[in-house]
Structure 1
């Protein structure tokens, strides 16, 4: 049975990044040779070999709080320390969600699905109740009035995905008397959802595909058997943070990738690839490069558990320390076996989802697009849908961007014609599964993306003028205050169902709506 780790941090013990803000004199301009030219796919792949072996020796995974993750932290931290970087491994705690058992049957027939993260447990042995079907409308299950004319009391209610969060859907269903909920997707593919927080979870809730949901919609009154056995557990884990010893410490270029896997597998694409590309970039750049801006590399823990490591890191910084970060680059899955080539849509030119990133994000997108074009690849936009570690950086107004090769989203015929690969198949058929191994990585995509990562990091180490104008702290504070207000407004008015219509319905984590 699938075991899911997730959770929001309830307590944290975070080492301050103040120790990383090493005061140094401005260095001379960055070396003229493109750092990307010094990145080889074989060197990046060597780190993936190490992560695979670590997983093999530790129960087949590298999930936060487990031995495989701790060994991964030691591997990365030791490589960086040996290269001379200033390295810390700040610790934190969080409440993880574990699913020990899931089963769903309707009219005596097994139904494929999964529990949403934080779904409360059913009684031992499961619960049995009639199926009720909520008629879909433009905002299905998002208002109490949706249940007028549909008696769901004592039933397991079937609800279509769309508009509001999964947490709101099951809460409103609970208030209408339902004892359980099944939410079905409104686009093709699995529904990879979360209720967001244990405090928001009211009734056992399952997620199923669009096809399964549409079939169930014709079975109102049929007997449902839903069995969810879940628990919460406190987990202690670490991030890895390393910074160059040269460059301005008040205009830091920050780049991150999550280092943890899901418990189901070794996580070599998700996200060994991003971690390996970032680690090789750091090693090739070196700890004392001739740069104008310091570079800070982060390898996040507990991303698969709700973006915990990056969120707590940003929240643990003072406002002044946040201002010291000029921009944030995120690399989450850059070697998907049926690879797409996506850059986060900093200017919202694709016109879907959460809108543009903070001021400067559009320039980051352009620079990443150019870096990929230099490697012969035309990219498409990827919505800032909140599914990876850029989330908290954006929330406090830090410009952000990144590269992504796709998760369980489906490659279109047009994309296959442009990039190669197989249309109608997931970018990563092994996403969050045991098959996410060294054998299932597109090494051409891995090298192309890793070279682009290095090129852009080097570019910003020399100058962030195009992104932030290298303003004073006071100017950045004023700008980010305005961006924070806009971000809060976007979150309050967003239409989450649009996220499913972007380049890929998901990043690495789970959807909240």
Structure 2
């Protein structure tokens, strides 16, 4: 998963089974059967066929592939290539005809470490990562110039040309993060003659994501260097006033790369009402990526294998293993962008599974109702998907909670295309609360996955209870929608959703 702000701690109005969950735990403590709704979901076969043992075998295979191919499974590496061959081989053995969905993309890379310093009114060297981060698609440059604040006390800072009416030619624009995209700020600064742009975090709350140096993206290559800084650094720069002088060096550029998704359809089913089930196959360079996202890959793969043993589905089920997710949701976005209007209309819904075995896990269902603060209004039918997952967990006597639809995983492009979406998530870099320990066990005050995007995301750091419980939800919902999508889309997909504009593209902020 390419992410930071996960929304794993939902508000009370958006929670599922919170009061009922306490009763469930009490019942377990007394050795009683939980008094939760048992008949809300019809019985399905796949949850018993999709076993944790088989999922674990796939995950162990991905670990071995990583171990013998450079220690990771990132896009463009041997680890990714062999992982894809493994998935293709497993699908073929189950009777599928998998295909490679190839795409080209522009990859932005830094050629050298960036540097950012202040020379006046006092000297100060800023630390990369802690004080500032280069934005993706920042332009190159070696700049020493005065700094000039641009409407820096407003969340509209740098969002209009009028903000730059008196901007000194050649200065470095100092702007606050706010309501418009970073690309808009950078373009306006460039048009006004700025030599570089600094966007500081807004500090609107005490949350780390509102104060720390952040990872942002401009979506297309800027003509000038652009960095994001912490709120503290930004306020210091603004407070320096007219005496401010800074130096900024960025050496970066883009090059064209090729990668691919792996796609496989069930042999039977209605092609005009396809259920797309996706997980990203790639990991980050830091390690094997066995939770992120070997867990989702393995669960979707085993679900595909077992579904092939059942009778022909009413609806086509399309299993997708996305490439280049960790570089900005590229594989899934390229797939959706490459579909015609008719092909989009033939997709009934999308299900996303990204991280299902977090060590300090939760049972999180994507917020199809759009109730959480960080969620945009999802396309029609998404709430029905959320309810299907919740009802399944209810029937198992398990608490679940909603998690934000925030643009952090491969559902993003589907939602923007108006396709009803949903899925499951076991938690990433959010912190577990005391209340959540009552629901799931684990440790309060620690991240759901302390190994997220590190070398420790390996087979030894998977919570198999999480895999077992969440994979049951995956299997049940896939089988359910293979038979009927009526509650979601009235059989046909809905394309009339409002325009969505996420604030995130995977780990990178857009605004």
Name the TM-score class by shorter chain.
0.7 to 0.9
In structure 1, C-alpha distance between the alignment counterparts of 2:310 and 2:304, rounded to whole Å: 11
Q: Which residue of 1 aligns with 2:159?
A: 142
For 1:334-345, what aligned pairs fall within 5 Å after superposition?
334-345=356-367
Q: Which residue of 2 aligns with 1:468?
A: 489
**In the alignment, is the contact (CA less than 8 A) between 1:345 and 1:381 conserved in 2?**
yes
Q: Which residue of 2 aligns with 1:512?
A: 510
Find the partner of 1:323 among 330, 341, 345. 345
In structure 2, C-alpha distance between the alignment counterparts of 1:340 and 1:306, rounded to whole Å: 25
For 1:336-485, what aligned pairs fall within 5 Å after superposition?
336-350=358-372, 352-355=374-377, 357-471=378-492, 476=493, 479-480=494-495, 482-483=496-497
SS of residue paired to 1:85: coil
Find the partner of 2:208 among 188, 191, 196. 188
TM-score, reference length from structure 1:
0.80
In structure 2, C-alpha distance between the alignment counterparts of 1:465 and 1:438, rounded to whole Å: 39
Asked if 1:68 corresponds to 2:90, the answer is no
Q: Which residue of 2 aligns with 1:254?
A: 276
> Are the structure 2 counterparts of residues 130 and 446 from structure 1 closer, same or farther at C-alpha, using a change threshold of 3 Å?
farther
C-alpha displacement of 1:118: 0.9
**In the alignment, is the contact (CA less than 8 A) between 1:171 and 1:203 conserved in 2?**
no
**In the alignment, is the contact (CA less than 8 A) between 1:85 and 1:287 conserved in 2?**
no
Asked if 1:122 corresponds to 2:102, the answer is no
C-alpha displacement of 1:76: 0.6
**In the alignment, is the contact (CA less than 8 A) between 2:44 and 2:476 conserved in 1?**
no
> Are the structure 2 counterparts of residues 256 and 293 from structure 1 closer, same or farther at C-alpha, using a change threshold of 3 Å?
same
In structure 1, C-alpha distance between the alignment counterparts of 2:170 and 2:462, rounded to whole Å: 47
Asked if 1:54 corresponds to 2:71, the answer is no
C-alpha displacement of 1:65: 2.2
SS of residue paired to 1:86: coil
**In the alignment, is the contact (CA less than 8 A) between 1:243 and 1:287 conserved in 2?**
no
Q: Which residue of 2 aligns with 1:203?
A: 224
* Greater Rg by CA: 2
For 1:24-103, what aligned pairs fall within 5 Å after superposition?
33-103=44-114
**In the alignment, is the contact (CA less than 8 A) between 2:329 and 2:505 conserved in 1?**
no
Find the partner of 1:283 among 305, 312, 317. 305
Q: Which runs of 5+ in 1 are unaligned?
A: 1-30, 497-505
SS of residue paired to 1:90: strand
SS of residue paired to 2:251: strand
TM-score, reference length from structure 2:
0.80
> Are the structure 2 counterparts of residues 122 and 507 from structure 1 closer, same or farther at C-alpha, using a change threshold of 3 Å?
closer
In structure 2, C-alpha distance between the alignment counterparts of 1:440 and 1:158, rounded to whole Å: 42
SS of residue paired to 2:313: coil
> Are the structure 2 counterparts of residues 243 and 234 from structure 1 closer, same or farther at C-alpha, using a change threshold of 3 Å?
same
SS of residue paired to 2:272: strand
> Are the structure 2 counterparts of residues 375 and 184 from structure 1 closer, same or farther at C-alpha, using a change threshold of 3 Å?
farther
Find the partner of 1:156 among 172, 194, 207. 172
In structure 1, C-alpha distance between the alignment counterparts of 2:319 and 2:136, rounded to whole Å: 29
Count of residue pairs brought into register by the alignment: 453
C-alpha displacement of 1:273: 1.8
In structure 2, C-alpha distance between the alignment counterparts of 1:320 and 1:448, rounded to whole Å: 36
SS of residue paired to 2:407: coil
Find the partner of 1:295 among 317, 324, 337. 317
| Greater displacement, 382-391 / 298-307 | 382-391
| Greater displacement, 418-427 / 386-395 | 418-427
**In the alignment, is the contact (CA less than 8 A) between 1:303 and 1:310 conserved in 2?**
yes
Find the partner of 1:228 among 241, 245, 250. 250
C-alpha displacement of 1:110: 3.6
C-alpha displacement of 1:310: 1.6
| Greater displacement, 458-467 / 309-318 | 309-318
| Greater displacement, 386-395 / 361-370 | 386-395
In structure 1, C-alpha distance between the alignment counterparts of 2:115 and 2:475, rounded to whole Å: 46
Q: Deviations over 1:377-423 (max 9, x none)?
A: 43333333333222222233221111123333444454445444444
In structure 1, C-alpha distance between the alignment counterparts of 2:284 and 2:327, rounded to whole Å: 8
C-alpha displacement of 1:75: 0.8
SS of residue paired to 1:372: helix
> Are the structure 2 counterparts of residues 270 and 207 from structure 1 closer, same or farther at C-alpha, using a change threshold of 3 Å?
farther
